[in-house]
Structure 1
């Protein structure tokens, strides 16, 4: 099967910004791969002047939040490093039963790579030399505001990149497996919390939804 790959533009983020950035991106991708009846839900970002759409499925939202939490735990162990998340969609081709296990064969048809450069947060000035500290604090605040605005611009570009990819790449999408689920089967992977360096011996930490319950 033809597997399409989309490499999204790299985002420079502070650790505190990671959850909201990933919510915007992951929910936008999953919404565009929704199946059957969904209840689209507009969500206003808490950090950015951006509105994105969720599928309106509580279980799906919960599992994405769990995956974001796991990724943040990895970032905390590997501070100020570039990192990568991959959201993959696949088909379950067949199941092979043996005496010891049930083997599920996955046929991947789409990969989305999210790249983040996690940078240290700027701290406020100390208490000494009051006038200088106030000036330094204002400079830090201005720099953070400018950097946040730049991130918002780049995040918008990434969301438009997702929409363009979805509009242009359609021939590789498999037939709808059933009308039981909200999304095609997918998984989200990144280096495990025990990895000593990014990009070496990446261990998949999979989030497989299978077929979530259809909304009534």
Structure 2
């Protein structure tokens, strides 16, 4: 079995904007990979309008991950993994297994501006990076569709997912046992 595609994104942030930026990027990823019916809306972040939708279960997961960032240094990566439920062959115990079909890895770089001029420059850089990241998500989600499994269930969300904050020295591949 081929490993799932991994799409890497860059996030530049200062500590005050990090939760909002991560929330915006995560919602954008899910907006393009959440295959259920929902009412879309937009969120404004810095000077950029981002796509979003209301899903209480997803919001709870995202907010619980973001709460772990409070008072802490940022993890070097945040990873989102989408799974397909497949029937397990020749198994006595579990009838189905989760197989990863796509990963998104967000590499975080924190900046710490000290002066007002540095803060203004950092904000411009953060906005530019956010815009480039959002455009990359849209381009990848639009172009990379061949690996998306068929929807075979009537569940509200046919594909389970995980959102992981990865500590320094750990990668998404090692956490999953791939590398």
Q: TM-score, normalised by structure 1?
A: 0.70
* Alignment map for 1:152-171 (pairs within 5 Å): 152-171=127-146
Identify the residue that residue 65 of structure 2 maps to in structure 1: 67
Q: TM-score, normalised by structure 2?
A: 0.83
CA distance in 2 between partners of 1:110 and 1:162 (Å):
13
- Higher relative contact order (Cα pairs below 8 Å, separated by 6+ residues): 2
CA distance in 2 between partners of 1:18 and 1:116 (Å):
9
CA positional deviation for 1:82: 6.4
Larger radius of gyration: 1
CA positional deviation for 1:41: 1.8
Aligned pair partner of 2:85 in 92, 95, 99: 92
Question: Could you say if the C-alpha distance between residues 120 and 40 of structure 1 is closer, same or farther in structure 2, counting changes exceeding 3 Å?
Answer: same
Q: Quick check: 1:91–1:108 contact (8 Å CA) kept in 2?
A: yes
Gaps (5+ residues) in structure 2?
A: none
Higher strand share: 2
Question: Could you say if the C-alpha distance between residues 97 and 54 of structure 1 is closer, same or farther in structure 2, counting changes exceeding 3 Å?
Answer: farther
Aligned pair partner of 2:103 in 108, 111, 123: 111
Structure 2 residue 159 is the aligned partner of structure 1 residue 187: no
CA positional deviation for 1:159: 0.4
CA positional deviation for 1:56: 1.5
CA distance in 1 between partners of 2:42 and 2:157 (Å):
17
Identify the residue that residue 177 of structure 1 maps to in structure 2: 152
Question: Could you say if the C-alpha distance between residues 92 and 182 of structure 1 is closer, same or farther in structure 2, counting changes exceeding 3 Å?
Answer: closer
C-alpha distance after superposition, 1:115-157 (max 9, x if no partner):
00123353xxxxxxxxxxxxxxxxx112101111111011100
